[in-house]
Amino acid sequence: MMNPKTVLRVEDFAKQFFIHEQQKVIPSSSNVNLTVESGCLTALVGPTGSGKSSVLKGIYRSYLPSEGSIFFTTSLGDTLDLAKADEHQILDLRRNEISFVTQFLHCLPRQKTEDIVAQPLISRGVKPSAAIEKARQTLDALNIPERLWGISPATFSGGEKQRVNLARGLIAKPRLLLLDEPTASLDPVTTNRVLEMIEALKHENTAILAIFHHMELVERVADQVVTLEPPVLTESILENIA
């Protein structure tokens, strides 16, 4: 039984990729166990190649896990194994309860920046005018100049695109927030603002799982730290492939 504060519990998660042309199995992550609680941030750390991003993508179901369970407690109090959930359930959770901020911005061509940021709120039933106003406030908080709000971010710098991505991920105050290097391309001032926004979300009971490379950021915002080790191939995966 899960602790009432536990929003996410990952048990024995593993992900491997099978390269058909070479008939090889590439381990990405293995034996991952962690919990994320309401109002707390769990930081994922570890060397390059330990599978940190694969864990987040497995939880968001960009990847289907090779092994393990991913138990998520919904806002209704139901516990769902994301590793076994169907696509409709996953899409509904992405729309209403789980947000994922990656290092890359994906959006429709020619879509206005403020519309991209407002979309998660509109999807949840917020009036477009109110959603746009909240989007503008969030963009301003992340140092995106007002002259850029009404144009597509296609020509923005890497740091500007990341700030737009952060604005879109943070605006809806999800039940579970996944962050993959949220401050990687940001200047110190904007980094501080992002960390302040993360702390504010924690106070509003958002559960956060985040990847950081800089330990000073981990020390500042993390409530618990999970260190991943380089992955290994498990016997069951090798047997299934054989």
Q: Which CATH architecture has domain 1-97+174-242?
A: 3-Layer(aba) Sandwich (3.40)
The pTM of the full predicted model, rounded to 2 decimals, is: 0.88
Helix (H, G, I), strand (E, B) or coil at 206: coil
Q: What percent of the chain has pLDDT over 90?
A: 54
Mean pLDDT of the residues in the chain: 87
CA 154 – CA 172 distance, rounded (Å): 23
CA 173 – CA 198 distance, rounded (Å): 10
Quote the pLDDT of residue 223. Answer: 96
Between 241 and 84, the more confident residue is 84
Residue 113 has phi, psi (to 5 degrees) of: -60, -45
For residue 213, give both structure tokens.
Answer: 């490379």
Quote the pLDDT of residue 25. Answer: 74
Do residues 165 and 106 lie in contact, with contact meaning Cβ atoms separated by under 8 Å? Answer: no
Query: pLDDT, tens digit, for every residue of 6-42?
Result: 999 999 998 887 776 676 777 678 889 999 999 999 9
Between 175 and 109, the more confident residue is 175
Indicate the pairing of strand 207-211 with strand 79-81: unpaired
Quote the pLDDT of residue 156. Answer: 86
